[in-house]
Structure 1
Amino acid sequence: MEKTSDKKLTVVLGASPNPERYSNMAVNRLQAKGHPVVAIGKRAAAIGDTPIITEHPALEEVDTVTMYLNPVAQKEYYDYILQLQPKRIIFNPGAENPELEAIAKEHNIQPIEACTLVMLSTNQF
């Protein structure tokens, strides 16, 4: 059983400042559960106090990359995701990508086709 005190550094790819977007809701819910979040999007903006950045910073001990980009838009992030060496990539609905899932497995990264919001609400995150 997982300890609830485990805080998981999560990179949200495809973060949007639009509060109606699931990526926006995920950033808010992750933070509400105490997880540190790095939000990366196409345009610099913010979700509450969290900046949405456009650069690809070097990060350590990334637990999860949660994907809110379609497979075509994901391609430019492949190398970056591999550099981060996350434990897992969550492919949210609409972001499923068999190519990146195969690459992830080759690099011992667990691909999960799931909804981050559902995982958070059911304590499966």
Structure 2
Amino acid sequence: MLLKEYEARRDHIVAILSKLGFEIQCKPQGSVFVFAVIPKNWLHSDVDFVRALIQKAGVAAVPGCGFFHLDSNGEIYRNRYIRFAFCKSEATLAAAARKMQDIANSDGSLQLD
């Protein structure tokens, strides 16, 4: 029962994030976190994205830079990802989705600038 609930939450948040312009390269299979590529229209760092998301939508995420090695191989990736948790109640996830959709452009992508 619990597994089905988390699968439904995962699928819902992945669908919402995809519509908002995030790229989900790998749908989680064994965790409660979605690691998402920041929308292409964002030209600043992952830390700046998370800060703007909190300020404009009241939605928290974790910058992805802390999950990458500091060598040159990780440099192209480390500022382009953020992590969302879906181990929240359905009401909390729905509220977060609604808040992000409220600040989306007419094409559906997030507008944080």
Fold agreement, TM-score > 0.5: no
TM-score normalised by the chain length of structure 2: 0.30
Structure showing greater radius of gyration is: 2
Larger helix proportion of the pair: 2
Relative contact order higher in (CA < 8 Å, ≥ 6 apart): 2
Larger strand proportion of the pair: 1
